[in-house]
Chain A
Amino acid sequence: MTAVPKFSVKSHTGRSTPAIPEQQLVDHASRGSAEAFGELVRRYQQQVRGYLSRQIFDAAAVDDVAQEVFIGAMNQVSGLNNRQSFRSWLMTIARNKCIDYLRCKARPANHSSAQIEQLLAAEALSQFQRADLPDLEQRDVLLALQHCLRQLPPKSHGMLTAFYFQNQTAPQLAATFNKKPGAIRMALLRIRNSLARCIRRKLGRDIA
């Protein structure tokens, strides 16, 4: 039996070196190599979690579903004929897992807050099921977001950057911008709405 190599090569940011071919990793992982599996996870976790986070609005749930995606992929790997297409196959599994999650969330609820979540989950699921295969579109959505961020007025851009990328809270921003925290939250909401409209225009369809 071929010895399973160690796959401990990674950079400071956690990204692995591309030295080991994907097919080899998949082969070894399918034979039970935890190192190879870990390297595959390291390589694709950002794409999978990024994709899931567009539909699942709970960060903890995103990680749970992402774990299921990778574990599920390994347990189905014998059914993968062309191992070169592991990535797109992985993203399709992510799509299926995401649909499962949204279906579960979209079930009728008996509490009013849960009813609102249920309505939105049903809408997200509906949009999601109309969407194309995930690996073909994800890059487009991110590019569209990047483009739309650049189109924002400087003040809005600054507020958004401070909130999301510099971890400032609404009260902190309120002090900076001389507004009430509620006004800051509303301003952020409207910026997100304008970004959503911009992305939709750019893509010619919904984000899902």
Chain B
Amino acid sequence: MTSSELDQLWLSFLDGELKNEDHPRLIQWLEQNPEARRHLVSERQVDAMLQQLARADDDPEPFVEACVARFVAAEISPPMAAAAAPAEESNRSVETDPPAPKLAIQLQKRQPRVRSGQNVWRALLLAAAMLLPLACLAWVWQFMAPQAAPVTLKKEGAIDSSGPARPGLDEAFADWQQRVNRQPKTLTPAPSPPKPEIVAPPPGPTERIAKQRPTDEQYSPREQHAAREQLGAGEQRSAEPLQPGPDADKTVEVVSLTSHPSARWQLQPSPHSQPRRYVLASGAAQMTFAGGSTLDLQGPTDLELTSDTVVFVAYGNLLANIAPASDALVVRSPSVSLQPRPAAEFHLAVSRSGEAEVFVHDGLVQIQMEQQRHVDEPWVLNASELNQAVVAIPDHSTSPAICMARGSDETFRGAIDAGGKSMEFQSGDMFAGVLRQAQNAHARSPDEFLRQWEALLVQFEQIMQVPPSSKTPEFGQDPLSKSTFEQFVRAIGDLQKNMRDGGGVGSTEFNAEQMQRTWSEFLNSGMQIPAPAAGDRTGVANARAFEGAINMNGRTLRFTSPEAFRQARQRFNR
């Protein structure tokens, strides 16, 4: 693509006129060309600077007043402001600069400082000013109440539970809510899956969910418009068959949607629209696929049917129940791809930042990190052993992504992926140690971290003599603690060097068993690298007699002396 073509595509994108077929082209070009990304970022920076210059003489007072209003609000009600602070504040990486501002924490720390007389009086005055209109409203209300309908005040989104009791349905929903919201810590026999009767949730959980309901500001104007249309058209849609695509001649029902009366849809596509994206703001709904598999959704949830058998969950909660004889259903999220086997039942919770939690209640579910591309065998979660997993995606492309899976019997599997290269662990301590140091290294310098990570994997592969096709060497149950990432890399390099000096690693006969033993000794010794000893093939203390072999044209030459082995290698190399 030439610079002119890129400019044309970019201009179309800025004007919102980029064609659908050009989107992947532009994305691919940007992914492959750092210079193109730099070019476009510079252009936007200049645009932003010019806009800022043009606004330089604007009256700053509206901005100042907005800041002061927030300042005063924070002074009066720190806990409220702390609760409203973004979650990212608590996840700030290590910085060498002055302490990063953590609004939530600091506001709580500041609370005791409202002890000066002036601030107390200020707070009291403002609180009185806020209460006065409420008192007036209450006074007016007592005169209006007799004429008004007999309603009770309740929070927005709360369900009036004063109607006739529905004990069986309420209990079923409460059970469903409990299973969706709270994963059991211990393995229990999977109860019978909740049936699709979606009923009025009890007031407690509903009220909590209503608070989590996203505000309009979190959605684009397109979504808000669609939501207004949807909400205006009524909240309940029952068992509406959806079509697979815009081709009306091929009407095949692939999924039906059942909404609970409490369901509030932020976005619900028409049957023929593509892509079929659903945003359930609150409440519950159920999707039933043609094969009988069901997805019970709990709002807020944003998902998209990317094909008849693939569901992409941007965020939200769902309980999947796969029919025994159904076709393969794939549930994807920004961080993980799940392929449940028939008769599986699992719960998936995806946060707005993309982290996914999976809990398998029944059957088998194949799980794979979206970032992990070089895996020979994806993991399989099952209800009896490895039944829950957490997958976190990186802040940006160079950060390490992680996947952890645990079983009720303390089984552990972990994987760290950075730059498309992964390392797997079966020891939780080792996983945590490497992850902590990797994150610290990344916080210091993402580029340097990637370089170190790649070097580490190359060295592991060489040491462990894993086949070149595999990128996921495993290290058994050996613990790793109290090590820094750099020390780890350096130690591995030293170990490798020592083994080379001992004549081991260059040998084609240096087998995996010996290497595993070396590795264990290395870890058990606190990663101390002893000086290489002559004739010591591994460099560790309990050296054995030297054995070397060179295979050439099907014939194996064996050596018992490192000197003879080196000389032979030099001869053959010449």
Contacts and interface: CB of A to CB of B under 8 A. Distances in A.
Contact of A31 (B14, B98, B116, B396): B116
A151 interface: no
> Is the contact region of chain A dominated by helix, strand, or loop, or is it mixed?
helix
Interface bin, chain A: 35 or more
A147 interface: no
Given A14-B59, A123-B37, A54 B48 contact: yes
Interface stretch (B103-111, B425-433, B551-559): B103-111
A208 B27 contact: no
A115 B27 contact: yes
B119 A108 contact: no
Most B CB within 10 A of own CB, among A79, A104, A109, A141: A104
A185 B11 contact: yes
Contacts of A24: none
Contact of B70 (A45, A53, A71, A189): A71
Contacts of A37: 67-68, 71
Interface of B: 7-8, 10-11, 13-15, 18, 20, 23-24, 26-27, 30-31, 34, 37-54, 56-57, 59-61, 63-68, 70-72, 74-75, 86, 88-89, 92, 95, 97-103, 106-107, 109-110, 113-114, 116-119, 122, 304, 312, 314, 334-335, 353-354, 370, 393, 395-398, 446
B103 A116 contact: no
A55 B114 contact: no
> Is the contact region of chain B dominated by helix, strand, or loop, or is it mixed?
helix
B8 A104 contact: no
A127 interface: yes
B43 A13 contact: no
Contacts of A56: 48
Given A95-B97, A96-B100, A110-B312, A50 B42 contact: no
Contact of A45 (B51, B60, B117, B334): B60
Given A37-B68, A71-B103, A196 B334 contact: no
A7 B50 CA distance: 32
A74 interface: yes
A197 to B, nearest CB: 8
A108 B394 CA distance: 8
Contacts, number: 240
Given A71-B74, A96-B95, A104-B88, A192 B101 contact: no
Contacts of A69: 101
A160 interface: yes
5 closest Cβ pairs, A-B complex: A72-B101, A75-B106, A196-B42, A112-B23, A106-B396
A208 B267 CA distance: 38
Contacts of A141: 49
A139 interface: no
Contacts of A71: 67, 70-71, 74, 103
Interface of A: 1, 4, 13-14, 31-32, 34, 37-38, 41-42, 45-46, 49-50, 53-57, 59, 63, 66-76, 79-80, 89, 92-93, 95-97, 100, 103-104, 106-110, 112-113, 115-116, 119-127, 129, 133, 141-142, 145, 160, 164-165, 182, 185-186, 189-190, 192-193, 195-197, 199-200, 206-208
A15 to B, nearest CB: 8
Given A75-B103, A96-B100, A112-B27, A192 B43 contact: yes
Most A CB within 10 A of own CB, among B24, B52, B102: B52
7 contacts: A50-B56, A53-B51, A75-B107, A106-B397, A116-B27, A193-B42, A208-B41
A45 B106 contact: no
B34 A123 contact: yes
A98 B165 CA distance: 52
